[in-house]
Amino acid sequence: MPAIEPFVRWAGGKTWLVPHIPTIVGNLHIEHYHEPFLGGGAIYFSMDHTKKSYLSDANSQLINTYIQVRDNPEGLIESFKQIPNTEDDYYRIRTEITGENTVENAAKFLFLNQTSYNGLYRVNRNGRYNVPYGFRTNWAYDLDRIRIASSKLQNTRIDTGDFEVNKYRIKENDLVFLDPPYTVSHNNNGFIAYNQKLFSLDDQQRLKRFIEYIKKRGAFYILTNAAHKTICEIFLTQGDRIVKLRRNSLIGGRNALRTAIPEYIFTNIPEVNHE
Ligand SMILES: C[S@@+](CC[C@H](N)C(=O)[O-])C[C@H]1O[C@@H](n2cnc3c(N)ncnc32)[C@H](O)[C@@H]1O
């Protein structure tokens, strides 16, 4: 299937990385694809992959939406069309949405995602979604995006859970794309509180051990992470390579400035693969 765009707006989305992926992957033969920090799934949706993929994220409301998109796109579209885009409805739906796996919750999630301020997903200490209304009153969502994403998701297993949830399904020659939340604040990137629990340095250490496991299985990984000394100390393991990229970004405020943010990619895909 051709590359498509994510059907949700997602902070930290990797659309900017998509053009770099063929250079990093080269002519590597991939069996199964795994993406355990799925978010908007920019990289999964950009790939032309026919074998089974394993997709997961810790955000259960996001994952319920993926499952409904895959299994019930027309029901989701019908439910979504019923929601009026007004400020009052936004705040009502924000309190109504629950973690139950239903098509109504997926429609509410998609509506909040499309009309919230900056498409952020953020929860307070009690786990309640607390992003304000974005006043996107001229907004129109192309419903075909749900149908197209649905056909692209047909050969996938989709789970809610920590990044290790499908660990035992990783096999030789699989590719695991890892895009964890930032732990260290740098270059105005700041933290993104996707969940109640921040991704800690201990989680980054656990991710390092997960990468060692992936390599032992004879599989490949690509890790994106902050261009930061602490991150390099954790992930620059012998034999693996680091690809340094620059991402264009608009840094906020009234005097918004276009600037290039350094980002690091760590991978065990050998460079010889590019011959
Ligand atoms: C940087 S975003 C991924 C963005 C994605 N690559 C994209 O293109 O939109 C990180 C994701 O990790 C998820 N997450 C946070 N902690 C996690 C954990 N311990 N295990 C799995 N997912 C986690 C967040 O919900 C968020 O969707």
| Nearest CA, atom 20, ligand 1 | 162
Q: Which of 14, 37, 162, 199 to mutate to test the pocket of ligand 1 (most atoms within 8 A of CB)?
A: 37
**Helix (H), strand (E) at residue 243:** strand 241-251
Confidence at residue 191, expressed as pLDDT on a 0 to 100 scale: 47
Give percent above pLDDT 70 in the chain.
89
Mean pLDDT score, 237-251: 81
Assign domain 60-154 to its CATH superfamily.
Adenine-specific Methyltransferase, Domain 2 (1.10.1020.10)
Spacing, Cα 271 to ligand 1 middle (Å): 27
Spacing, Cα 272 to ligand 1 middle (Å): 30
Give percent above pLDDT 90 in the chain.
66
Beta strand 33-35 pairing with 175-178: parallel
Cα–Cα dist 266/10, whole Å: 22
pLDDT (tens digit per residue) in 110-159: 999 999 988 778 777 777 888 999 998 777 889 999 999 999 999 999 99
Sequence letter at residue 6: P
Confidence at residue 195, expressed as pLDDT on a 0 to 100 scale: 53
Q: Return the higher-pLDDT residue of 60 and 185.
A: 60
* Average pLDDT of the residues of the chain: 88
Residue 95 pLDDT > 60, yes or no?
yes
The answer to whether 55 touches 169, Cβ cutoff 8 Å, is no
Spacing, Cα 37 to ligand 1 middle (Å): 4
Q: Which of 57, 113, 165, 223 to mutate to test the pocket of ligand 1 (most atoms within 8 A of CB)?
A: 57
Confidence at residue 197, expressed as pLDDT on a 0 to 100 scale: 61
Q: Which ligand 1 atom sits closest to the C-alpha of 57?
A: 22
Confidence at residue 187, expressed as pLDDT on a 0 to 100 scale: 45
Confidence at residue 262, expressed as pLDDT on a 0 to 100 scale: 86
What residues does each domain of the chain span? 1-58+161-275, 60-154
Residue in the structure block whose two tokens are 């405020």:
253
The CB density around residue 18, as the number of other CB atoms within 10 Å, is: 15
pLDDT (tens digit per residue) in 38-50: 999 999 999 987 8
Spacing, Cα 110 to ligand 1 middle (Å): 17
pLDDT (tens digit per residue) in 163-180: 999 999 999 999 999 999
Taking the alpha carbons at both ends of the chain, their separation in whole angstroms is 26
Q: Which ligand 1 atom sits closest to the C-alpha of 35?
A: 6
Confidence at residue 119, expressed as pLDDT on a 0 to 100 scale: 78
Residue 274 pLDDT > 60, yes or no?
no
Q: Find the residues whose C-beta lies inside 6 A of ligand 1.
A: 10, 12-14, 36-37, 39-42, 57-59, 162-163, 179-181, 194-195, 199, 203
Confidence at residue 253, expressed as pLDDT on a 0 to 100 scale: 54
Confidence at residue 251, expressed as pLDDT on a 0 to 100 scale: 57
Q: Which of 38, 167, 198 to mutate to test the pocket of ligand 1 (most atoms within 8 A of CB)?
A: 38
Question: Nearest-CA neighbor of 114 among 144, 147, 138, 96?
Answer: 138
Residue 193 pLDDT > 70, yes or no?
no
Residue 61 pLDDT > 60, yes or no?
yes
Spacing, Cα 274 to ligand 1 middle (Å): 29
Assign domain 1-58+161-275 to its CATH superfamily.
Vaccinia Virus protein VP39 (3.40.50.150)
Cα–Cα dist 89/122, whole Å: 19
Confidence at residue 189, expressed as pLDDT on a 0 to 100 scale: 46
Sign of CA dihedral 156, 166, 179, 241: negative
